[in-house]
């Protein structure tokens, strides 16, 4: 009876031997005998006994670490005894050099890492067995072939029979082999013989394969691998277990181990090849690698590592992630159990040591939290790092360990997992600190913080309730807020609570509660409903603030606001009345002066007196306008009237005007601005001019020697593009006025921009109202800027301000037409009926004289009632309507007239002395077609009538001034009948010296009629028409036209 082949398992731990035997027995069944040996010496004795008994030893599976004889030394000795035995080594931490030596000197088939994977172990042993028997089979077949060859050489007559028998045996073995076998010719690679297993493996039939090559069938996945194989055959004549990939007929890729040898058949060089299909094993290995990779990834993501400690050898095995957690180099040997202790935080080492000692002593499992110190930190107990941030030195670890016990009940190994819980621990620490902080905030809060259950009963209230309500928190628990409300608030509170419980937003409301002492307390409550995971309301939480003082302050503030509104209204009414009362008599004064200048019968003295009256009236009007302007600023009634103008021209003209004042005082005046300063800008030109005149004029006024320097810069604020043309939306103009005056003391700085307040220098000068700088500052703020001042006593002052302007892409410059004096109505027109309505006789008389002298039919009315009656019976074409009158004012009279169909055809122009633009809006809304401000100019009155009635006028063509007027120095009363046409244009100023033109410009800008008439005397008699035309402009209050003409002349 034949003996079964034997596989010997060697390990110094019986429990592992038993486990190994059980797993292999399941895989190999009863076909092989499994023997075990506890150590190398036992294994050698067992091999000697089995070989002596004639047993066939297929393989030896040995542990690496064993007492007396290590696994690698054992396998080398076994190889020397029987090289055919397949050697497999199990190792947990085998030295790579030892493994390499074992492969080299003992022909180690494979080594398997511990703990092994069951499938890996089974497949390895199974393949080893198959390889052993395949080698054995090939050896037997080769032996048979050698025997046949010898018999053929010695027994020629038996050669054919023996050869046939050998071929039959070989053919049988060839055909019946479970592994694919082929014979190919070396010179062309054609398949000569193949077995059925080969056909099944590659999917082709024998007819498709024979007499073709592997390249014809496209079997090789890699031509490089094929070339490498044939080189090895050419060098060594034999190849064993060459791993390669091939492609089946269906295109599937398979992996195999190919053993090949060059042989001679009938004097022809051939290659016999045997293939072992290891595709399933490779797939299993790939799955194992994937599982290992997934485990490593899972450990990395979860920040979990593991280590295993062999207590007997005092060695440890670490996972890659554990090295990352500890900040160690994974290529270096991990620390031993003894060395591990130095990485534990000094404060946590005792409890760690206790847990480890207990596990080793009794095999107890343990769960432990402790801190570790990364290697970059100092690890002494005296100088322990305190960093606990995510990337700091200290890491928090949660460790779970189990002891591995042998059959004798001794703990031989410790297996431990470690999780980096630093983020969670830091969050817990932060949460605890936050809870403590918010607990402190709740307890120290000045507001009541509370919580109620779903029924509205208080479950928590902080100490603030004692300060606000007067109750101890314990007195209120279990009560509802409704129990403490004022009786009038109870019903409303039920409604509010219902709304709170039906919404998910913060709900805010105010209520009145009764304190413990009975006083009423105003409370502002903010609350929100609490929801569980299912969305059900579990209660409410919120805060309650004592707003009693705020409510009282709001009531007081409302009263103060109402009083301020009444005061502002009274002030506005006063200003409106003041404007009316002051402008109305001025209208008569200036208006009658205009009429009297038409009278040619007046002598030279009378004309001079009229000039003085007119200039004094204009000066008084300027003072009134300043005061009213300041008052309008104070009540917020000033607005911007933007227009597009030539900035550079305005600056040059202002410089020329102010330079005369500076030169009279011997001062140097410099206007310094860059050549690329925008020429055309859009802003309120009048206000900007007034700011410059006020600030620079002040500097000149209070500077005794030295000079005044105005520096202008600009900054572009934003850009846009229109096609390829850049258009600038906004620009900031920066002005800086520096003087060498006496300076301003720090005490006077506080009053500098206060209305009607003056510095010591201003009081000494005894000039002005003290409104220039306050008005300028307000204008600057209105124009989007800010005005500041710095000053040193004895050195001078610097005023800085900026204004926002827009820069247009194109500018159209409109030049006003030259004003001419009207002397009558052009013939061929209807008789225009004009009604003058005013409660002031002087105002009515002014209009009647002014218009009747030109040919208009004029009647007057002293109140609205008379105006409506006269309109009804006389039907005037146009009514000049004063808006403030007794009995019936102009508003009501206008409404009544416009209420009729024929009244809608009547032009009504309001005459108003109001200083407020909004009052003028009311005038237009009452039905007036237009309005004219008092005091008015004759030219404006006539232009409005031409606009609405289409009146055509006859103009004065005076060509010369009377010699008497020239001689007397008064050119304001010129008359004549010479019908020579004359047009005033800018080029005529070229006949006069530049200094004269500058002086005329300054006088016109200052509306100084006396200076203008004095300058006109310098014009030669040959240019009398030019002189008379300028005089006409002055008499018609058109000094602005003189300024425009000179500006135009300077740009020629």
For residue range 600-637, what is the model confidence (pLDDT) as tens digits?
667 776 766 676 676 566 656 655 666 666 666 665 65
Does residue 156 belong to any structural domain of this protein?
no
> Is the same domain home to 697 and 741?
yes
Q: Which pLDDT belongs to residue 577? A: 66
Q: Is residue 33 classed as helix, strand or coil in its secondary structure?
A: strand
Any domain includes 792 = yes
Q: Answer yes or no: is 943 within a domain.
A: no
DSSP H helical segments within 346-484, as ranges? 349-362, 422-444, 464-468, 473-476
Choose the weakest-confidence range: 89-98, 159-168, 221-230, 239-248: 159-168
- Helix, strand or coil for residue 797? strand
Omega prior to 1047 cis, within 30 of 0:
no
* pLDDT level of residue 1049 (50, 70, 90 thresholds): confident
Strand partners, 90: 63, 112
pLDDT of residue 1016: 85
Please tell me whether residues 604 and 541 are part of one structural domain: no
**CB-CB contact of 228 with 220 (8 Å):** no
Given a cut of 90, whether residue 949 has pLDDT beyond it is yes
Whether residue 353 sits in one domain with residue 267: no
The two beta strands, 878-882 and 907-912, are parallel
Domain assignment present for residue 150? The answer is: no
Which residue from 545, 339, 333 is spatially nearest to 449, judged by alpha carbons? 545
CATH number of the domain encompassing residue 769: 3.30.565.10
- For residues 605 and 686, state if they share a domain: no
User: Going edge to edge, which strands form the sheet with 930-933?
Assistant: 857-861, 833-837, 878-882, 907-912, 930-933
The enclosing domain of 273 has a CATH number of 3.30.450.20
How far is 1023 from 959, CA to CA, in rounded Å?
Answer: 9
pLDDT at 668 over 60: yes
Average pLDDT, the chain: 80
The pLDDT of residue 384 is 43
Residue 10 and residue 56 in one domain: yes
Instruction: Give the pLDDT confidence score for residue 727 in this predicted structure.
Output: 39
Confidence grade of residue 162 (pLDDT, cut at 50, 70, 90): low
For residue 80 the two structure tokens come to 């020397």
- pLDDT tens for 925-945 read 889 999 888 878 888 899 999
Domain boundary residue among 398, 429, 460?
429
The pLDDT tens digits of the residues spanning 227-253 come to 898 889 888 889 998 888 989 988 888
**Chain length of the chain:** 1052
Same domain, 455 and 385: no
- Residues 558-586 have pLDDT tens digits of 888 777 767 666 666 666 566 666 666 76
pLDDT at 511: 84
Q: What's the pLDDT score for residue 972?
A: 38
Same domain, 462 and 525: yes
Handedness of CA 569, 575, 581, 587 (dihedral sign): negative
Q: How many domains does the chain have?
A: 7
Banded pLDDT at 804 (limits 50, 70, 90)? very high
Q: What pLDDT, on the 0 to 100 scale, is given for residue 983? A: 65
Contact 412, 406 (CB under 8 A): yes
Domain presence at residue 852: no
Residue that has been written with the tokens 């089979």 in this structure: 137
Kindly tell me if the per-residue pLDDT of 20 is higher than 90.
no
Mean pLDDT over 969-992 rounds to 55
Hey, what are 514's tokens? Answer: 């009764």
Contact 775, 626 (CB under 8 A): yes
The pLDDT assigned to 330 comes to 73
Question: Are residues 381 and 479 located together in one domain of the fold?
Answer: no
**Residue range of the domain that includes 10:** 6-136
pLDDT attached to residue 772? 75
Alpha-carbon gap, residue 733 to 786, rounded angstroms? 11
Q: What phi and psi, each to the nearest 5 degrees, are found at residue 912?
A: -130, 140
Residues ≥6 apart with Cβ < 8 Å to 432: none
Rounded Cα gap, residues 866 and 249, in angstroms = 122
- Boundary (domain end) residue, out of 583, 600, 630: 630
Domain check: are 270 and 326 in the same one?
no
Furthest-apart CA atoms within the chain: distance in Å: 178
1019 vs 162, higher pLDDT: 1019
pLDDT for 969: 35
774 and 648 both lie in a single domain? yes
As a whole number, mean pLDDT of residues 243-268 equals 88
Q: How confident is the model at residue 367 (pLDDT cuts 50, 70, 90)?
A: confident
Q: Determine, yes or no, domain membership for 928.
A: no
The predicted-structure confidence for 632-655, as pLDDT tens digits, reads as follows 666 565 677 788 888 999 898 888
| In the block, residue with structure tokens 């905030």 | 441
Is 399 within the bounds of a domain?
yes
We report the CATH number of the domain holding residue 576 as 1.10.287
Q: Check whether 719 has a pLDDT greater than 60.
A: no
Cα distances from 294 to residues 282, 287, 289, 683, 910, in angstroms, run 18, 10, 8, 73, 94
Residue 834 reports pLDDT greater than 90: yes
Residue-level pLDDT at 871: 96
In the listed set 546, 571, 602, which residue is the last one of a domain according to the structure? Answer: 546
What is the pairing mode between strands 878-882 and 315-318?
unpaired
Indicate if the pLDDT at residue 981 is higher than 50.
no
What is the tens place of the pLDDT at every residue in 868-922? 999 999 999 999 999 889 999 999 999 999 999 889 999 999 998 664 555 777 8
For residue 995, pLDDT beyond 80: yes
What is residue 608's predicted lDDT score, i.e. its pLDDT? 66
Of 112-116, 318-322, 1019-1023, where does mean pLDDT reach its minimum?
1019-1023
Domain identity same for 654 and 777: yes
| pLDDT of 677 strictly over 50 | yes
- CATH classification of the domain holding 123: 3.40.50.2300
Can you say whether the dihedral through the CA atoms of 48, 53, 58, 63 is positive or negative?
Answer: negative
Tell me what pLDDT residue 724 has: 34
Q: What region does 709 belong to: left with phi over 0, alpha with psi -120 to 50, or beta? A: beta
Higher pLDDT pick, 800 / 358: 800
**Which of 763-772, 938-947, 949-958 has the largest mean confidence?**
938-947
* 156 has pLDDT over 70: no
| Mean pLDDT of all residues in 450-472 | 87
Q: Answer whether residue 1025 shows pLDDT above 90.
A: no
Q: DSSP for 708-745?
A: EEEEEEEEEEEEEEETTEEEEEEEEEEEEEEE-S----
- Residue 414 has what pLDDT? 87
DSSP per residue over 112-178, as a string?
EESSPPHHHHHHHHHHHHHHHHHHHHHHHHHHHHHHHHHHHHH-HHHHHHHHHHHHHHHHHHHHH-S
391, pLDDT greater than 50 = no
The verdict on residue 847 lying in a domain is no
Same domain, 597 and 685: no
Whether the pLDDT of residue 291 is over 70: the answer is no
* pLDDT recorded at residue 295: 60
């Amino acid at each position: 009876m034949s003996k079964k082949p034997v596989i010997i398992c060697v390990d110094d731990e019986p429990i592992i031997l038993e486990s190994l035997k059980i797993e292999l027995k399941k895989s190999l069944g009863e076909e092989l005998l499994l023997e075990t040996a506890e150590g190398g010496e036992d294994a050698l004795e067992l091999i000697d006994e089995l070989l002596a008994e004639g047993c066939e030893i297929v393989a030896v599976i040995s542990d690496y670490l064993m007492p007396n004889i290590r696994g690698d030394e054992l396998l080398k000795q076994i190889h020397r005894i029987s090289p055919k035995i397949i050697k497999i080594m199990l190792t947990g931490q085998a030295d790579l050099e030892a493994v390499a030596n074992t492969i080299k000197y003992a022909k180690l088939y494979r080594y398997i890492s511990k703990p092994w994977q069951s499938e890996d172990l089974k497949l390895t042993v199974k393949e080893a067995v198959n390889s052993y028997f395949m080698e054995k089979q090939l050896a037997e077949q080769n032996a048979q072939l050698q025997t046949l060859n010898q018999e053929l050489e010695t027994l020629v007559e038996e050669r054919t029979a023996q050869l046939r028998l050998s071929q039959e045996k070989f053919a049988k073995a060839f055909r019946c082999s479970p592994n694919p076998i082929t014979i190919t010719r070396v010179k062309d690679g054609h398949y000569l013989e193949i077995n059925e297993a080969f056909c099944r493996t590659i999917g082709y039939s024998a007819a498709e394969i024979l007499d073709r090559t592997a390249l014809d069938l496209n079997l090789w996945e890699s031509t490089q691998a094929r070339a490498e194989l044939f080189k090895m055959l050419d060098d060594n004549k034999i190849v064993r277990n060459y791993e390669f990939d091939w492609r089946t007929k269906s295109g599937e890729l398979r992996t195999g181990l190919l053993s090949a040898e060059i042989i001679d058949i009938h004097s022809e060089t051939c290659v016999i090849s045997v293939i072992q299909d290891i595709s399933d094993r490779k797939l299993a290995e790939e799955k194992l690698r994937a599982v290992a990779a997934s485990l490593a990834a899972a450990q990395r993501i979860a920040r979990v590592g593991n280590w295993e400690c062999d207590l007997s050898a005092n060695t440890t095995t670490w996972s890659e992630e554990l090295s990352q957690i500890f900040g160690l180099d994974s290529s270096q040997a991990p620390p031993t159990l003894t060395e591990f202790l130095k990485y534990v935080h000094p404060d946590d080492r005792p409890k760690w040591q206790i847990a480890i000692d207990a596990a080793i002593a009794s095999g107890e499992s343990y769960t432990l939290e402790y801190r570790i110190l990364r290697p970059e930190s100092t690890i002494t107990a005296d100088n322990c790092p305190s960093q606990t941030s995510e990337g700091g030195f200290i890491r928090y670890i949660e460790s779970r360990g189990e002891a591995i016990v042998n059959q004798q009940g001794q703990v031989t190994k410790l297996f431990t997992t470690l999780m980096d819980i630093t983020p969670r621990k830091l969050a817990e620490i932060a949460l605890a600190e936050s809870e403590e902080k918010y607990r402190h905030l709740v307890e120290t809060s000045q507001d009541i913080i509370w919580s109620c259950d779903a029924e509205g009963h208080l479950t928590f209230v902080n100490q603030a309730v004692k300060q606000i309500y007067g109750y101890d928190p314990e007195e209120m628990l279990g009560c509802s807020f409704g129990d403490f409300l004022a009786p009038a608030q109870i019903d409303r509170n039920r409604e509010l609570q219902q709304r709170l419980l039906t919404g998910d937003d913060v709900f805010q409301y105010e209520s009145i509660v009764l304190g413990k002492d009975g006083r009423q307390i105003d409370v502002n409550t903010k609350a929100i409903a609490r929801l569980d995971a299912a969305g059900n309301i579990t209660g409410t939480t919120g805060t309650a603030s004592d707003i009693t003082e705020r409510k009282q302050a709001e009531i007081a503030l409302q009263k103060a606001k109402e009083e301020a509104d009444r005061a502002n209204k009274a002030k506005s009414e006063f200003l409106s009345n003041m404007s009316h009362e002051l402008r109305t008599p001025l209208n008569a004064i200036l208006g009658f002066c205009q009429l009297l200048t038409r009278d040619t019968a007046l002598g030279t003295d009378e004309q001079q007196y009229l000039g003085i009256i007119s200039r004094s009236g204009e000066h008084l009007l300027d003072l009134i306008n300043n005061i009213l302007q300041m008052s309008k600023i104070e009540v917020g009634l000033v607005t911007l009237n933007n227009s597009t103008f030539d900035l550079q021209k305005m600056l040059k003209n202002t410089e020329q005007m102010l330079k005369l004042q500076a030169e009279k005082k011997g001062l140097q005046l410099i206007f310094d601005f860059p050549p690329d300063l925008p020429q055309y800008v859009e802003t309120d030109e009048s206000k900007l001019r007034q700011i410059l005149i006020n600030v620079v004029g002040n500097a000149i006024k209070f500077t005794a020697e030295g000079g005044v320097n105005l520096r202008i810069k600009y900054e572009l604020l934003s850009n846009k593009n229109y096609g390829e043309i850049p258009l600038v939306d906004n620009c900031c103009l920066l002005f800086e006025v520096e003087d060498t005056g006496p300076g301003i003391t720090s005490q006077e700085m506080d009053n500098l921009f206060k209305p009607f307040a003056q510095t010591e220098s201003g009081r000494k000068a005894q000039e002005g109202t003290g409104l220039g700088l306050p008005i300028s500052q307000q204008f600057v703020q209105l124009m989007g800027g800010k005005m500041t001042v710095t000053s040193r006593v004895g050195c001078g002052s610097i005023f800085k301000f900026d204004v926002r302007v827009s820069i247009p892409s194109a500018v159209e410059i409109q030049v006003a037409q030259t004003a001419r004096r009207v002397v009558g109505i052009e013939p061929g027109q209807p008789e225009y009926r004009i009604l003058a309505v005013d409660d002031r006789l002087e105002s009515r008389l002014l209009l009647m004289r002014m218009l009747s002298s030109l040919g208009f039919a004029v009647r007057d009315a002293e109140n609205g009632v008379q105006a409506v009656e006269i309109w009804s019976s006389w039907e005037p074409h146009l009514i000049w309507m004063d808006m403030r009158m007794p009995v019936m004012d102009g508003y009501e009279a206008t409404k009544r007239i416009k209420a009729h169909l024929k009244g809608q055809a009547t032009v009504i122009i309001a005459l108003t002395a109001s200083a407020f633009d909004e009052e003028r809006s009311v005038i237009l809304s009452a039905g007036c077609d237009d309005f004219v401000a008092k005091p008015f100019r004759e030219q404006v009155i006539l232009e409005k009538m031409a606009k609405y009635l289409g009146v055509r006028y006859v103009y004065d063509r005076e060509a010369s001034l009377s010699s008497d007027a020239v001689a007397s120095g008064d050119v304001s009363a010129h008359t004549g009948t010479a019908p020579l046409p004359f047009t005033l244009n800018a080029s005529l100023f070229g006949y006069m010296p530049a200094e004269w033109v500058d002086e005329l410009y300054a006088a016109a800008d200052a509306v100084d009629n006396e200076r203008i008439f004095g300058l006109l005397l310098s014009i030669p008699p040959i240019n009398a028409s030019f002189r008379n035309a300028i005089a006409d402009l002055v008499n018609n209050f058109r000094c602005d036209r003189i300024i425009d003409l000179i500006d135009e002349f300077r740009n020629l």
